[in-house]
A and B are shown apart, each in its own frame.
Chain A
Amino acid sequence: MYAIECKNLTHYYGKKMVYENLSFNVEEGKILGLLGKNGTGKSTTINILNGFLQPCAGECLIYGENTQLLTPETKRRIGFLIEGHVQYTFMNIHQIEKFYSGFYEGWNSAPYWELMSKLKVTPKQKISSMSCGQRSQVALGLILAQNPDLLILDDFSMGLDPGYRRLFIDYMREYAKAEHKTVFVTSHIIQDMERLIDDVMIMDYNRILAQQPIDQFMNTFRQFNISLADHNAVIDFDGMAVNIERVKDKIEFYTYSTEEEVKGFFKMKGIAYNSFEEVKMSLEDAFIGLTRKY
């Protein structure tokens, strides 16, 4: 059963294509991380999912409903964290809790107040005068109190220091797994995602580069650092490499192939090398390896 189904999404801003025929699904109970460089369409996708942007073609369904026509009942099942932890900053923590509680029948304020008790804020302090980290906890607490089935978190790490990022991730992971919640998350800080997500979707300009469980991706996508014997060697890697970063004789070779397959390929092509080493990658390394440095 899918919480989110996007089918053949196509979107343009004027004549600039964001993507064409993009399709993906998010299974219920999974945490999916959407990664992509700036301008690859992450925010566009989030906006379409939340009904704030009508795609040129295709559709996204959340719990079977078109996101452009979500009913209040379905919206009640979706928690939405806007990029930068945007909230009604003219309120204080009591006012904002009182405001939101009126909209959700199953409102459970306990996790909200538990998080608020950790913040060193005065009861009447406006959210506008809080730090970015404190605001992130307010936004997170409100989502937890709402108790939605699906959480859409747009760049949750923006502006947070490492401590608050870690707190946010650990809290979210524990909550989502314990309560069988579905999470669709984007973040600029990819190292955070590794601790949080079950599945990864990596977008490049106009297409999806990878969509699979994070463990599978990290186990099958590899980096080999190779030092060529002849730094002038011209090599056609025809399909073996997903990406190659080369400086003279030094090659960073990114591939879904195994070490044996790559070595066999070099042997078949008659390319000599001085050293050949598989490098353990973090998710951030793998992301850059897949999408290139620039």
Chain B
Amino acid sequence: MLKSIIYKEWIKIRLIILISLGLSLLALINIFLKVRHDILFVDAANYWYSFLFRGSAYFGILKFLPFAIGLAVAIAQYIPETVNKRIKLTFHLPVSENGILIWMHAFGAAVLLILFLIVMGLFTAGSAIFFPSNMINPSLVTVTPWFLGGMATYFLVALILLEPVWIFRGLYTIVAAGFVAIFYTGAAIEAFRPVLPLLILITLLLSFVVLFSGYRFRKGEM
């Protein structure tokens, strides 16, 4: 049963995941080619100085990538369920309605998390080639909210797409935009360090909101 759920969800999102992985690799290649170029032609000391003391991030291109990936994965996974109200087929399967929704959602979130961890891992490894550890740690603290924002986007877009009433979808979109904006607020390097636990907590809490749309659908809201 679980194997079947994973099988179907993977069919829906595999293309988007592969494209996302490809785009992420291209972004990382772009970042580190540029770093290599700047270090060669500017000189390493100045480059590190501008990062550490002037907050000039070399990885800005990564900022909205997790947002775009989270959005794309949620759309790929949940639009096929909402077209012709196919979610009825899913809820009719011999599994509890909440149970199957949790499994679907958990699978999507897990794949997204693995993808983000791979990208962050490669980013860390690439950074380690060019920078000392006291530069890598602030870099990771800076990009982590962006990736958390990608996860939050996935959870909130799932909530919006499964909601059966259009006006509620509109309201959720406004609220979702407010939440997601928190993760992408422009700030200096490491500025989010004190609130990282709070951002993680918000993301975890958002992971359950899709159940509300599922409940409303089953009650026949229209």
Given A54-B220, A99-B8, A88 and B89 contact (CB-CB distance below 8 Å)? yes
Partner of B84, one of A76, A86, A99, A101: A86
Residue A52 is within 8 A (CB to CB) of chain B in the complex: yes
A210 vs B155: C-alpha distance when bound (angstroms): 48
Do A98 and B84 have beta carbons less than 8 Å apart?
no
Binds A, one of B93-101, B135-143, B184-192: B93-101
Residue B105 is within 8 A (CB to CB) of chain A in the complex: no
A277 vs B4: C-alpha distance when bound (angstroms): 61
Partner of B11, one of A13, A47, A75, A95: A95
A161 vs B3: C-alpha distance when bound (angstroms): 37
Given A82-B89, A84-B84, A102 and B219 contact (CB-CB distance below 8 Å)? no
Residue A260 is within 8 A (CB to CB) of chain B in the complex: no
B94-144 at interface with A (beta carbon < 8 Å): 94-96
Give the residue name and chain of the A residue nearest to B164 (CB): A52
Residue A72 is within 8 A (CB to CB) of chain B in the complex: yes
Partner of A82, one of B84, B217, B218: B84
Given A95-B11, A99-B8, A104 and B94 contact (CB-CB distance below 8 Å)? yes
* Nearest Cβ on chain B to A72's Cβ, whole angstroms: 4
Residue A109 is within 8 A (CB to CB) of chain B in the complex: no
Q: C-beta contact mask, B1-31 vs A, less than 8 Å → 1, else 0?
A: 1011001100110000000000000000000
Do B220 and A52 have beta carbons less than 8 Å apart?
yes
Given A47-B220, A72-B94, A73-B94, A102 and B11 contact (CB-CB distance below 8 Å)? no
Residue A266 is within 8 A (CB to CB) of chain B in the complex: no
* Nearest Cβ on chain A to B18's Cβ, whole angstroms: 16
Q: C-beta contact mask, A256-284 vs B, less than 8 Å → 1, else 0?
A: 00000000000000000000000000000
Residue B172 is within 8 A (CB to CB) of chain A in the complex: no
A72 vs B97: C-alpha distance when bound (angstroms): 9
Residue A134 is within 8 A (CB to CB) of chain B in the complex: no
Chain A residues, Cβ within 8 Å of B217: 52
Given A50-B92, A52-B88, A82-B88, A88 and B8 contact (CB-CB distance below 8 Å)? yes
Given A82-B84, A86-B84, A91 and B8 contact (CB-CB distance below 8 Å)? yes
Residue A225 is within 8 A (CB to CB) of chain B in the complex: no
Residue B34 is within 8 A (CB to CB) of chain A in the complex: no
Do A86 and B8 have beta carbons less than 8 Å apart?
no
Partner of B4, one of A54, A78, A100: A100
Which of A53, A80, A98, A102 is most buried by chain B, counting CB atoms within 10 A of its CB? A102
Chain A residues, Cβ within 8 Å of B1: 102-103
Do A78 and B11 have beta carbons less than 8 Å apart?
no
Chain B residues, Cβ within 8 Å of A78: 92
Do A103 and B93 have beta carbons less than 8 Å apart?
yes
Residue B37 is within 8 A (CB to CB) of chain A in the complex: no
Number of interface residues of B (CB under 8 A): 24
A86 vs B91: C-alpha distance when bound (angstroms): 14
Residue A111 is within 8 A (CB to CB) of chain B in the complex: no
Give the residue name and chain of the A residue nearest to B219 (CB): A54
Chain A at the B interface: SS class = loop
Residue A87 is within 8 A (CB to CB) of chain B in the complex: yes
Do B94 and A103 have beta carbons less than 8 Å apart?
yes
Q: C-beta contact mask, A101-130 vs B, less than 8 Å → 1, else 0?
A: 111100000000000000000000000000
Give the residue name and chain of the A residue nearest to B217 (CB): A52
* Nearest Cβ on chain B to A54's Cβ, whole angstroms: 5
Give the residue name and chain of the B residue nearest to A79 (CB): B92
Do B8 and A72 have beta carbons less than 8 Å apart?
no
* Nearest Cβ on chain A to B11's Cβ, whole angstroms: 6
* Nearest Cβ on chain A to B5's Cβ, whole angstroms: 8
* Nearest Cβ on chain B to A146's Cβ, whole angstroms: 9
Do A52 and B86 have beta carbons less than 8 Å apart?
no
Give the residue name and chain of the B residue nearest to A95 (CB): B11
Given A88-B86, A102-B3, A52 and B8 contact (CB-CB distance below 8 Å)? no
Provide 25 A-B residue pairs closer than 8 Å at the C-beta atoms, listed in order of the A residue. Answer: A13-B222, A50-B88, A50-B92, A51-B91, A51-B218, A52-B88, A52-B91, A53-B220, A75-B93, A75-B94, A80-B92, A82-B84, A82-B86, A82-B89, A86-B88, A88-B80, A88-B86, A89-B80, A98-B4, A99-B7, A99-B8, A102-B4, A103-B1, A103-B93, A104-B94
Contacts A72-B96, A73-B94, A86-B84 known; 15 new A-B pairs at CB < 8 A: A47-B220, A50-B88, A51-B218, A52-B88, A52-B91, A53-B219, A72-B95, A75-B92, A75-B93, A76-B94, A80-B89, A88-B89, A90-B12, A98-B7, A102-B4
